[in-house]
Amino acid sequence: MPIPSRPALVEHLVRTRIAGDVATPRDNNLSHYRKLANGDRHYWLGLELGDRWTDEQDVLAVMAERCGVIDDPAHRAGQDTIDPELTVDALDRMAARLRKAAAARERVLFATGHPGALLDVHSRTAAALRAAGCDVVRIPGGLHADEGCVVQFADVAVFERGATLWHTHSPEPMNAVLDGLRAMDQPLPDLVVADHGWAGRAAQRGIDTVGYADSNDPALFVAEAEGTLQVTVPLDDHVVDPRFYEPMTQYLLNAAGLL
């Protein structure tokens, strides 16, 4: 696959609605910002935010700055946006951290709460880092969380229940992995590449973490603003065809020096 230029990637992100006018509606975004501010821990994605983000308008301001949603608090419904330039800026920051991991041959853990969309993004990144000499974490077997199992496909930790890979925001699968590694006296990862509660909990537990987040998942952007999470890439995390993410992944790996 050819490596897209920055302008070509921006055009692709907008055309496929990974960024630009995204599918997530404004009222859904604002509802999630309000629930985070009201202390609903489901929306904290494994982070400990205390009482630092109790004003919904402060959350909106961070999301406008770091994700590119519309910054007008009077805009309550209809279309919302992700700024594709911010997406590519964040990909460049993530690439710099991946380059550092490759240079140091770090131990890296990959995980996703969006296996229907982002599994291949994470898997290809894992394969590239392994080829560069990194130790991609193999999670312990027999892990359980949230009445399901934590398993690994193509180097990516995922949550399974009833023979199905589940979309999850929960931090408990990441707790299970990290606690399982400690129980087996295995080293924790130097870096986690993840999303949702997988990313939030890893960062909260003090591990260098980079990840992806949608415009209705403000916690990871708040964590980046506070310095808990190193990089959060804004994108629609479940577009209609997961192959739409392939040019983005190609750009990321090239920027990281992994192609």
Side-chain-side CA neighbours of 192 within 13 Å: the count stands at: 31
Q: What is the pLDDT, as a whole number, of residue 234?
A: 98
Q: What is the largest CA-CA distance in the chain?
A: 53
pTM assigned to the model: 0.98
Burial 45-83 (b: 16+ CB within 10 A, else e): bbbebeeebeebeebbebbbebbbbbeeeebeeeebbbb
Q: What is the pLDDT, as a whole number, of residue 1?
A: 84
Residue 30 · residue 56 · CB < 8 Å: yes
Q: What is the pLDDT of residues 11-64, one digit of tens each?
A: 999 999 999 999 999 999 999 999 999 999 999 999 999 999 999 999 999 999
Residue 234 · residue 90 · CB < 8 Å: yes
| Residues of the chain where predicted confidence (pLDDT) is lower than 50 | none
